[in-house]
Every structure is written in structure tokens, then in C-alpha cells.
């Protein structure tokens, strides 16, 4: 039996493992671990493990009793209405 001619395949050049490549590999692994830890800490600080109930800021001013509102001077009542409109974003000219 005749042997088939062997085809020569081109191999990739073998890379030698040197001290420099090991140091670069360790530096890359260190950066990957550091980035992973940084992301983990940011997730924990963002509130994944914290209570979701927070004290909401009260936008609407506290309601006054009718007797107290009657006792207010007209100017104070107008100032209270203007302050309420500013906080809620209501434009009194467009409301009819």
C-alpha cells in the first residue's frame, strides 16, 4: 500500500510563557476582580439590600383648620395660596 502524501499544516507559532506574560495575566486578573468588587459594593449601596420604605418629602403644605384660616389676614392667605401654587406647579391663570 502506498502512503498518501502528508499535507503540511501550518501551525500557529507557539508562544513561550515568560515572566512578563505571567505578570500581565496577574495584572489583568487583579483588574477584573477589583472591578467586580466595585460593582458589588455599588449594588449594595444602591439599595438592593436596604429597606425600600423611605420618608417622602411632603410637597403640599400642612392643612390649616377652618378657624385658623378665617383668622388669617388677607395678605397671609394670598401668600399661602401663592406658596402652594409654586410647590405644586399650578398656574392660577390657566385654571378656571
Q: How far is CA 83 from the centre of its chain?
A: 32
Task: Report the domain count for the chain.
Answer: 1
Mean pLDDT of 69-79: 72
Q: CA-to-CA distance for 61 and 84, rounded, in angstroms? A: 7
Please indicate, yes or no, if residue 74 is contained in any of the structural domains.
yes
Residue 77 included in any domain: yes
Q: Are 87 and 60 in contact (CB under 8 A)?
A: yes
- Region 71-85: mean pLDDT is 77
Measured between alpha carbons, how far is 50 from 21 in angstroms, rounded to an integer? Answer: 43
65 vs 48, residue with greater confidence: 65
pLDDT of residue 26: 96
58 to each of 25, 53, 68, how far by Cα in Å? 54, 15, 21
What is the overall mean pLDDT for the chain? 75
Average pLDDT over residues 62-79: 71
Is residue 67 assigned to a domain? yes
Torsion of CA 36, 41, 45, 46, to 10 degrees: 10
User: Does 68 fall in a domain?
Assistant: yes
User: Which three three-digit cell numbers place residue 21?
Assistant: 506574560
83 is in which domain, residue-wise? 63-90
pLDDT at residue number 28: 97
Amino acid at each position: 500500500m502506498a502512503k498518501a502524501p502528508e499535507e503540511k499544516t501550518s501551525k500557529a507559532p507557539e508562544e513561550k510563557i515568560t515572566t512578563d506574560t505571567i505578570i500581565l495575566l496577574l495584572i489583568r486578573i487583579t483588574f477584573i476582580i477589583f472591578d467586580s468588587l466595585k460593582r458589588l459594593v455599588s449594588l449594595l449601596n444602591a439599595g438592593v439590600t436596604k429597606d425600600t420604605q423611605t420618608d417622602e418629602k411632603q410637597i403640599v403644605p400642612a392643612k390649616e383648620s377652618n378657624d385658623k384660616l378665617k383668622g388669617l389676614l388677607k395678605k397671609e392667605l394670598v401668600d399661602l395660596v401663592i406658596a402652594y401654587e409654586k410647590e405644586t406647579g399650578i398656574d392660577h391663570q390657566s385654571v378656571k
